Amino acid sequence: MWLVGILPDSIFYIMFFLGLVGIIASIFLRNVPVINKYHNPIFLLGLLLAIVGIWYAGGVSKDREYREAISELEVKIAQAEKRAAEASAKVEYVYRDRVEVVEKIRYEVVGSIREYSGELDANCQISPKAIEILNKSASAVSDEDTK
Amino acid sequence: MKFLMLISLMFLAGCQTTVEREFPPIPPGLTVSCEQLELIPENTDKMSEMLVVITDNYSSYHRCQAKVDAWLMWYKEQKEIFESVY
């Protein structure tokens, strides 16, 4: 079927047409003296041309169908890729926006801690054990892992 | 004759066509792992210093949560787009 891509489509229709002409001509040639001896070769050649022609004409038709489907798919993919890029940009924007809010809140909270640090630190003693326990929670490493 | 049959088979052989498709772009902010939580310095004796570290860790969690949510949103949207093509 790769021939379909190389030769022009019309050649297969011409082959089919010539094949039909050959078959019909061979029928008439049978009754014409002198040249009736060419009846069989012309008939066989016509039949071969008609079969090959009709086979490839079908191939051409299917090939055109597939090419249209491929073009349609390529357009769809191009649109999908554009939408995918837009969706990624939107996700990035939403993510950055949320991180910005988190940073803003962190800044405010740390500011409050600094503001009230005198009050917070005045009557508070921190046990080293409390720090150890909190750090263990933050590092997510069990005692077994540290051994 | 066998040779002719083999040659004729060549004319019947079809070709394969591949339609290329690119993997959707990943938002740059989502390509980095979530950060490690901070540890409180062992010699800390001030509550305010400890609270700052705890606040930083809460912020880290919220940034990581935003990242995971963004990944989920990205996956959902890309899946919808992917399925709309085929």
> What residue type is A82 in one-letter code?
K
State whether B48 and A131 contact (CB < 8 Å).
no
pLDDT at B4: 65
ipTM of the complex: 0.79
In a domain, B82, yes or no: yes
In a domain, B27, yes or no: no
Q: Show the 3-state SS of A92-113.
A: HHHHHHHHHHHHHHHHHHHHHH
In a domain, B74, yes or no: yes
- For residue A61, how far is the Cα from the chain centroid? 25
How close is the nearest chain A Cα to the Cα of B5, in Å? 14
Residues of B with Cβ-Cβ distance to A3 under 8 angstroms? 11
- Per-residue pLDDT reduced to its tens digit, A100-144: 999 999 999 999 999 999 998 998 888 889 899 889 888 877 777
Residues of B with Cβ-Cβ distance to A120 under 8 angstroms? 46-48, 51
Report d(CA A108, CA B52) in Å as an integer. Answer: 11
Report B:54-73 residues touching A (Cβ under 8 A).
54-59, 62-63, 66-67, 69-70, 73
pTM (two decimals)? 0.72
Report d(CA B14, CA A143) in Å as an integer. Answer: 65
State whether B27 and A92 contact (CB < 8 Å).
yes
Structural domain range at position B76: 46-86
Report A:23-82 residues touching B (Cβ under 8 A).
66, 70, 73-74, 76-77, 80-81
In a domain, B86, yes or no: yes
- Per-residue pLDDT reduced to its tens digit, A42-98: 899 999 999 999 998 888 888 889 999 999 999 999 999 999 999 999 999 999 999
Report d(CA B48, CA A114) in Å as an integer. Answer: 7
B39 touches chain A (CB under 8 A): yes
In a domain, B26, yes or no: no
In a domain, B16, yes or no: no
Q: What are phi and psi of A26, to 5 degrees?
A: -65, -30
Around A127, how many Cα atoms within 13 Å sit in the side-chain half-sphere? 4
Nearest to B36 by CA among B56, B21, B51: B56
Model confidence at A38: pLDDT above 90: no
pLDDT at B5: 66
A92 touches chain B (CB under 8 A): yes
Report d(CA A144, CA A55) in Å as an integer. Answer: 75
In a domain, B39, yes or no: no
A3 touches chain B (CB under 8 A): yes
Domains in chain B: how many in total? 1
State whether B54 and A77 contact (CB < 8 Å).
no
